[in-house]
Structure 1
Amino acid sequence: METFAYFGLDVGTSSTKAVLVAPDGTVIDSQVQEHSVTRGDHGLVEMDMRIWWDEFKTLYPALLNRNDVRVKGIGISGMGPCIAVTDTNDEPVAPAALYGVDQRAREEIDELADAFGQDFLLERYDSQLTTQAGGPKLRWFAKRYPQVFASGARFYMPASWIIKHITGEYVLDRHSASQCTPLYSPETREWNADMVQKIAPGTELPRLGWSHEICGETVEVAEVPELASGIPVIFGTVDAWAEQESVGAIKNNQLFLMYGTTLFLVANSQQRVRHASMWGTTGTREGTFNMAGGLATSGALTNWFREISGERDYAKLVEAAQGVPAGSEGLLTLPYFAGERTPLQDPDARGVMIGLSLHHGRGHMYRSLLEATAFAVRHNIEVMEDAGASIESISAAGGGVTSDLWPQIVSDVTGRAQELRRESVGASYGDAFMVAQALGDVESLDEWNPVAKVIEPQDLPVYDDLYASYRTLYTATADIQHRLRTLQR
């Protein structure tokens, strides 16, 4: 009897993960391929877009050759919003600009903000222009490669680039498009052609669709003989939103937390919501809108500390941190090691660790880093609710939930419970679910991935005291952080 499976693939900041999922939601097999981004002068954080396709060509055959299955559908997601520019023959013109951690377009942000007004942009497009916005980055490319745009240019994100290779379709999902502020209209849910003409004339725009809809079928690809033709492929989306799908956190008044290289927050609403320091987006499903926020670092911090401490095993650092009381015995950290995105929107912010004494060890420091990200989550939640977002429940996923310590600290700091599902594979699992649902093979995520545990908050008054100090510490040291940033240039 033939065995069917759904294939999901997610291109992340530090690795690409592929998964095969059975019709009942069980993970048959998965594989990861690590990669790295390039950091350059003037805030550039970029990656050769050809890596995304190369990794599909490696991971898809690897899973198919290890498992006797027939792929029934394919879903793909990736970090975003990224801006990767090609000519109309799909030849890359430069490395892709990554999401908000890439700060190359600060001049273009100021230029467009002066031209249109940030208040107007917020009212019309649900977001002001920040380093997260795709529009200024596309303009950055247009100004530097005018000959390409004069003859026609395309832009891709990780999912759409791979989809182009396996289906021949030039498409993008509406959620990803909504992060290309101000090129997309959240009112019409279509491209704003007039704004595209003003910002990056000569751009050929991809066809839009909802993340869980079928955008096309696979064609024969000589480089991947294991890829059969005629397999349905969905539009896909940005990694955090695919991971949101993987735990069913798409309901109204629900918040999703993604513990990854950066920590991301997505609050769901049935109406447009906006705040000057957050990102308003279209959701993955028709009729859904989001208020989103994101830290510039989270898992990147724990990886940094692991490397400088010389400890290869995260479990040993977690064990050391578990032996330290809440509050890290008076050690407080600002996690802005790569600037901060929401709600500060301060790319020149820098990390601060205060209260150090000779009795503090690596367990204190590691725990303080985790507590710092929890304080940042609390800050984001407060801003979201002040802006009118309603948060009745929280679901979490990502690499950071493999141990209970980090989500427990976040629940303790925020005073809110978090649901964790049985499978925490991540965005690639969400991709597989969306294509299975698109094909009518599964109705609800609950069938595939039931809730496995709930992290309940503990009453720890020390965190309220430290949170107040956390908020004060940024204000008190921001000027110093900015001066030090100039030395780092």
Structure 2
Amino acid sequence: MSAETGRDLLIGVDVGTYSSKGVLVDLSGAIRRQHTVPHGIDMPHHGHVEQDADLVWWADVQAILRELLSEPGTAGRVAGVACSAIGPTLLPLDGAGTPLRPGILYGIDTRAQAQIEALEAEIGADAIFAHSHMALTSQAIGPKMRWLREHEPEVWTRTAMLTTASSYLTFRLTGEHVIDHHTGAHTMPLYDPRTRSWTDRYAAAVLGDRRLDVLPRLAWSDEVAGHVTAQAAAETGLREGTPVAVGTVDALAEGLSVGALQPGDLMVMYGSSTFFILVQDAPTPDPRVWSVGGAFPGQVNLAAGMGTTGSLTRWFVDEFAQEHETAAAYDTLFAGAAALAPGADGLLLLPYFSGERTPINDPRARGVIAGLTLSHTREHLFRAALEGVGYGVRHNLEAFRDLGADIRRVVAVGGGTRGHTWLQIVSDICGLAQEVPQVTVGASYGDAFLAGLAAGVLERDDLNTWVRPGERVEPNGALKPEYDRLYSLYRELYTQTRDTVHALGGVG
């Protein structure tokens, strides 16, 4: 499709767990400019993981947009903008749209376990699954809404809108309160996947006497949410009236960024956590994983997510490689891990350092390192961490296959794809090939494509020219017997230590 005269650029911005990134691209998908802003997370209590919506999310977006638009005349050439962010998150706003507390993050925040159990007792776990096509887990927003109502009644009383991170960014840009269907599906049990709409069937159990109008309007990710307001233009440098797409969570935007569009395409996102999105012809609901809508009308996704993967390697670098700058530390550790044989000389690690999401859905799980001796080094531990994540990936993919999901192609994206070591370990453990496109900028690149669709300057088929083939990582078949043995031990290690780590966490 042809762009409006002079509107030949697109912007995508993604707010992640530990950093935010933005890209300025032309209509062919060529990156003209990019900018990254690092940030952190807050953990005020055990199991609570938060970020400030204005000081982190919106401040990052402002800084990124001003950098991308710093060259004179750029703003007038931007045809559209889209944002994605970590999710599903929960953020209460007052009537003026001002955040009332920090945002409560996605499944790594496990504060609402008691509310999950209460909802299951009141409604029935089977009834919730039948209604939502998903079981309640730490990924669900509904129990966190109930937690907010029960634990912070003064905030709840002042709440006029309940939103999520990507929706808040769109709200700041446009003044429109809107959420995409993929994220909306996680607002369970308030979302009906059959009608693609909010439902008050179980609303009282979550919202008390509040009405569903506190929730955002539902829409698809490639629709126009609204247009940049005069205030947002002044705060960001964007042109007033620029179209803004509805946007989505970071993982779905990551999938678009690497061309995961056809049924059977599986995106594996190696980020702070590892996320999986499989495009399907028809839903295959299962309590272990998540059945949600896709980016476009009628699209179905099977999704899953681990809790601690890239954040585990970051923790390792911060705690055990302080003598190096961060980039050099990663290079040193990956090189050392690559030089070791599979199995890290008898070490096995469970990467459940913030509980675990799919497929075990155990917020009380904890990290375990088994097999330590005085001969093990830092590099042995690091390789064990990389392999532990690989076993977790295999566990999720086996859950997909158990329920009959068809995986035809695996495309990898995210910071963990840099270099070869980790990808090779995962391919060897799982016995599958992974494709890594030439451009692996990530979610912000997918956001830019959504911006082009919303603005009417791109069509979906244009993604075939945006995403260009790159590396293909093939599994080493000779390692299969050893990794099969170690994977079996990995599965046993969780079941054998589960009660112990639950007790250590003080939950009995």
Paired residue secondary structure (1:30): strand
Paired residue secondary structure (1:451): coil
Report the alpha carbon displacement of residue 194 of structure 1 after superposing the two structures with TM: 3.6
Match in the other structure for 2:281: 270
Query: Residues 225, 153 of structure 1: CA spacing in aligned structure 2 closer, same or farther, 3 A cutoff?
Result: closer
Report the alpha carbon displacement of residue 388 of structure 1 after superposing the two structures with TM: 2.2
Residue by residue, what CA displacement relative to the aligned partner does 1:251-270 show, whole Å, maximum 9, x if unpaired? 21221100000011112212
Match in the other structure for 2:17: 13
2:475 to 451, 457, 463: 457
C-alpha contact 2:136 2:188 (8 A) present in aligned 1: yes
Match in the other structure for 1:374: 390
Paired residue secondary structure (1:380): helix
Report the alpha carbon displacement of residue 197 of structure 1 after superposing the two structures with TM: 4.1
Paired residue secondary structure (2:505): helix
Match in the other structure for 1:395: 411
TM-score normalised by the chain length of structure 1: 0.96
Match in the other structure for 1:191: 198
Report the alpha carbon displacement of residue 193 of structure 1 after superposing the two structures with TM: 3.0
Residue by residue, what CA displacement relative to the aligned partner does 1:375-411 show, whole Å, maximum 9, x if unpaired? 0010111111112211111111000001111111111
Q: Which moved more, 1:185-194 or 1:297-306?
A: 185-194
1:202 aligns with 2:197: no
Amino acid of the structure 1 residue aligned with 2:224: I
Paired residue secondary structure (2:40): coil
Query: Residues 278, 5 of structure 1: CA spacing in aligned structure 2 closer, same or farther, 3 A cutoff?
Result: same
Paired residue secondary structure (1:65): coil
Match in the other structure for 2:52: 48
Residue by residue, what CA displacement relative to the aligned partner does 1:340-392 show, whole Å, maximum 9, x if unpaired? 11111111111111122233222221111111001001011111111221111
Paired residue secondary structure (2:391): helix
Amino acid of the structure 2 residue aligned with 1:267: L
Q: How many residue pairs were aligned?
A: 488
C-alpha contact 1:57 1:223 (8 A) present in aligned 2: no
Paired residue secondary structure (1:376): helix
Report the alpha carbon displacement of residue 77 of structure 1 after superposing the two structures with TM: 0.3
**Structure 1: runs of 5+ lacking an equivalent:** none
Residue by residue, what CA displacement relative to the aligned partner does 1:51-78 show, whole Å, maximum 9, x if unpaired? 2112222111111114753211101000
Alignment of 1:305-454 (within 5 A): 305-309=316-320, 310=322, 311=324, 312=326, 313=328, 314-438=330-454, 439-442=456-459, 443-454=461-472
Distance 1:9 1:445 in 2: 18
Query: Residues 161, 354 of structure 1: CA spacing in aligned structure 2 closer, same or farther, 3 A cutoff?
Result: same
Match in the other structure for 2:68: 63
C-alpha contact 1:217 1:233 (8 A) present in aligned 2: yes
Amino acid of the structure 2 residue aligned with 1:177: G
Paired residue secondary structure (1:435): helix
Query: Residues 67, 402 of structure 1: CA spacing in aligned structure 2 closer, same or farther, 3 A cutoff?
Result: farther
Alpha-carbon RMSD: 1.8
Match in the other structure for 2:500: 480
Report the alpha carbon displacement of residue 432 of structure 1 after superposing the two structures with TM: 0.2
Amino acid of the structure 1 residue aligned with 2:366: R
1:96 aligns with 2:113: no
Report the alpha carbon displacement of residue 179 of structure 1 after superposing the two structures with TM: 1.0
C-alpha contact 2:7 2:79 (8 A) present in aligned 1: no
Match in the other structure for 2:228: 218
Match in the other structure for 1:105: 112
Paired residue secondary structure (1:344): coil
Distance 1:48 1:11 in 2: 12
Paired residue secondary structure (1:208): strand
Query: Residues 330, 454 of structure 1: CA spacing in aligned structure 2 closer, same or farther, 3 A cutoff?
Result: same
Distance 2:347 2:372 in 1: 6
Distance 1:315 1:66 in 2: 34
C-alpha contact 2:307 2:355 (8 A) present in aligned 1: yes
C-alpha contact 1:220 1:227 (8 A) present in aligned 2: no
Distance 2:111 2:365 in 1: 16
Paired residue secondary structure (1:281): strand
Query: Residues 362, 68 of structure 1: CA spacing in aligned structure 2 closer, same or farther, 3 A cutoff?
Result: farther
Distance 2:155 2:52 in 1: 18
1:22 to 13, 20, 26: 26
Alignment of 1:225-236 (within 5 A): 226-236=237-247
C-alpha contact 1:256 1:267 (8 A) present in aligned 2: yes
Distance 1:42 1:354 in 2: 24
Query: Residues 322, 148 of structure 1: CA spacing in aligned structure 2 closer, same or farther, 3 A cutoff?
Result: closer
C-alpha contact 1:151 1:202 (8 A) present in aligned 2: no
C-alpha contact 2:100 2:159 (8 A) present in aligned 1: no
Amino acid of the structure 2 residue aligned with 1:345: N
C-alpha contact 1:85 1:141 (8 A) present in aligned 2: no
Alignment of 1:111-150 (within 5 A): 111-146=118-153, 149=156
Distance 2:135 2:216 in 1: 23
Report the alpha carbon displacement of residue 205 of structure 1 after superposing the two structures with TM: 2.1
Distance 1:225 1:19 in 2: 14
Distance 1:33 1:2 in 2: 29
C-alpha contact 2:15 2:21 (8 A) present in aligned 1: yes
What percent identity do the matched residue pairs reach?
39
Match in the other structure for 2:85: 78
Residue by residue, what CA displacement relative to the aligned partner does 1:105-163 show, whole Å, maximum 9, x if unpaired? 11111111111111111111011111110011111122344455556521121221111
**Structure 2: runs of 5+ lacking an equivalent:** none
Paired residue secondary structure (2:494): helix
Q: Which moved more, 1:352-361 or 1:466-475?
A: 352-361
Paired residue secondary structure (1:122): helix
Report the alpha carbon displacement of residue 336 of structure 1 after superposing the two structures with TM: 1.0
Amino acid of the structure 2 residue aligned with 1:249: A
C-alpha contact 2:103 2:165 (8 A) present in aligned 1: no
Distance 1:43 1:149 in 2: 21
1:300 to 297, 303, 311: 311
Report the alpha carbon displacement of residue 230 of structure 1 after superposing the two structures with TM: 1.5
